[in-house]
Amino acid sequence: MANDVSAEPLYIPDDPRLLPDTRAELAVPLVVEGRVIGVLDVQNTQRGAFGPDDLFILRTLADQVAVAVNSARAYEAQREEAWVTTVLLQVAEATSQAENVEAVLNVATRVTAMLAGVESTAIWLWDDDSAVFEFGAAYGLAWGQMLDDGAPALDALAADLRLSPGAWAAVDRLRAERAAVIIDDTTTVPLPFREVCSGDTIALLPMLNKGQVFGVMGASFKRDLAPALDERRLAMLSGIAHQVAAAVDNSRLTALREEEVWISTVLLQVADALRRLQAVEVTLEQVARLVPALTGVDRCVALLLDEAGNYRVRTVHALRDELAEAYMGAVIRPGELPLLDDTCRLGQPLVVNDTVGNPRVPGAWYARYGSRAILVVPLLVADEPIGAFLADDVQGTHVFSPRRVRIVTGIANQAAIAIENARLQAQEAQRAQLARELELAHDIQRTLLPQAAPLVEGYQIAYRWRSAREVGGDFFDFVPLDEGRLGLVVADVADKGIPAALYMMFARTVLRAVALSGRKPVSALQRANELILAESQAEMFVTVYYSILDYRKHLLTYASAGHNLAFYAAQETGEIQPMLTAGIPLGVIPAAVFGQKTLLLAPGDVALFYTDGAVEVQNAEGEEFGAERLAAVLAAHLAEPAEAIAEAIDAAVQAFAGEAAQYDDFTLILVKRDAH
């Protein structure tokens, strides 16, 4: 309280808030909970105008005024908070009903301008692929005037509104600091952004989502029209920006899920169409038709690698017939389309959305096929390329989006599985057919061999024959001759499998025909050698052991054509001796010379003729059975009947081999003279 302001050192005489001619002044603070919120000031033109009662009354009034002012401010704050909450709720409700990202942005810019009292709004969204803020939407008077200018001008402006790093320093600062940026001098804003965010003040607000700057919202104000951009309004706009970011993210996730469902449905339909085993050409034709239908591209070409490493067009489907003609019968050699070479080398799909000037698509390719955009997807089996699908667009109206690439890649993967299954099925069918043919060949070969041992007075004859494969090169024969004689043949063709079996049948026919003439063994082998060389051009030969048993005189005359696999066992002494003669295999040289011997068979004596499968059989350790073991088994069972001896030899050989794989046929003929 100052009753004479001229004597009060705290008095400020030139304060414009004071009344003119002030001589006395009384000032009382407005205090609420110890906090000064204002001052109640009374002035008078008369000195000494105020007394203690005036001070008391003013203090009482000040207390009441302070309470009233504080209550009014609290009420206004609540109203402001309610208004902000309402705005945020309405923005949230409006954006949640939008069907896609574009709709979210259009709704957000319009609702923000209407509810927040701003002149105009604009939104940019960050694009990871291009590393720029792509223009999304805008709303306001300036943008409406641009819309009136027509779509061409709008499209051109939208392209210019892309926010690349460095295009607008304020945006770079926002992205770095993740905080709002207020621009009071809009003349510093580069064109054309100033045309979109027209106003005296521009607020750039970060659209934050999951800790990242998802986009930028720009809001502009007119100083004489818009409410003041205070902290509360700035917080409200920031909240709107965050809500829009969340709505955009949710919309993208929804679209992504819907796209995933759609792609999965498409691929399931493709898998269902391709699951049936069918020819490769049918599968390729189905896929070539599906790709343009599902993706809208102009053409799809199915390529398969040939043995020379070239890509051959197996089928092509296009939306128009004239587009398909360019690829008909085409052969794409390495280097003609580097994009195709790189795709199969890398084992992943590659895209060129603009082929002009792209080194992966030479000008000669564009001149021939007219491809403006190309997608190549490899056909992989066990990570190895067997071909590719090539989809292209000739009008330049389509680009291969990630969704299209995924669709075509998924279809190609399904096709690769179907093609491989078809190939495996064809191979299995071939194997089954070959197995049936080999089984039939085995049956035929077996019918050409004796079905039973001949009955000879005074002798026992036993035999065994087993091929290592379905068909073999070993054979044996019993040739009935006149004057109490029987021809015995054991032979081995020097080869395996079907070639040996065919040669065996030829050699058996020749030997049997010669033997039936009654020739002696050495003469029979010489004549057989002549016929085989004259009638066969095959570079094969056969070893033969031919004997004639004179069962009346008990004489065994034998000759060998490079075979020499025979034992003579004497019952009286138990001695085992090899039956050796000179000679080379049949079918090697003309005028071949063969040796011949004769021995007398005493009662109980045994002659054993066999092929190398009886002695060269190996066990799991790689050890051969050998002639010594064979002779030992023969000696051990010499007193037994012929059939029992043959069975003992066969059992010993198989027991020795065990589970080890065998590659030689097994054949033996055993002749034993009765002991009495």
Residues, the chain, total? Answer: 676
Mean pLDDT in order along the chain per 10 residues (676 residues): 86 76 87 88 87 88 85 69 61 67 82 76 83 84 55 54 86 91 86 75 88 88 65 82 85 78 72 67 79 80 90 87 87 93 93 89 90 90 88 79 82 81 80 77 76 94 86 86 94 80 86 93 94 82 94 96 92 93 92 94 96 90 92 95 96 91 87 90
Residue with tokens 């699951």: 275
At residue 360, the pLDDT reads: 93
Residue 409 CB neighbours (<10 A)? 17
At residue 77, the pLDDT reads: 62
Return the DSSP state at 50.
Answer: -
At residue 144, the pLDDT reads: 57
Question: Cα(304)–Cα(641) distance, rounded to whole angstroms?
Answer: 66
Cβ distance 558 to 600 under 8 Å? no
Residue ranges and CATH numbers for the domains of the chain are 5-80 (3.30.450.40), 98-255 (3.30.450.40), 275-425 (3.30.450.40), 449-673 (3.60.40.10)
The H or E element containing residue 251 is helix 231-274
Question: Cα(112)–Cα(108) distance, rounded to whole angstroms?
Answer: 6
Long-range pairs of 417-421 with CB within 8 A, sequence gap ≥ 24: 417/274, 418/274, 418/275, 418/278, 418/283, 419/280, 419/283, 419/284, 419/379, 419/381, 419/386, 420/381, 420/386, 421/277
Q: What is the DSSP string of 520-544?
A: -HHHHHHHHHHHHHHH--SS--EEE
Radius of gyration of the chain from its Cα atoms, rounded to whole angstroms: 53
CA angle (276 as vertex; 273, 282 as ends), nearest 5: 70
At residue 165, the pLDDT reads: 87
List CB contacts of 297: < 8 A, sequence separation 6 or more. 291, 375, 391, 392, 393, 398, 400, 404
At residue 287, the pLDDT reads: 78
For residue 252 the two structure tokens come to 């993208």
At residue 344, the pLDDT reads: 92
Angle between helices 52-96 and 231-274 (to 10 degrees): 10
At residue 152, the pLDDT reads: 44
Q: How far is CA 270 from CA 289, 291, 299, 401, 524, in A?
A: 11, 10, 18, 20, 70
List helix spans (H) across 331-463. Answer: 338-346, 363-369, 402-448
Parallel, antiparallel or unpaired: strands 576-578 and 566-569: antiparallel
Burial label for 473, CB within 10 Å (0-12, 13-18, 19+), is buried
Return the DSSP state at 105.
Answer: H
Q: Residue 5 half-sphere exposure, CB side, CA atoms within 13 Å?
A: 22
CA angle (211 as vertex; 205, 212 as ends), nearest 5: 60
What's the whole-model pTM score? 0.49
Cβ distance 222 to 119 under 8 Å? yes
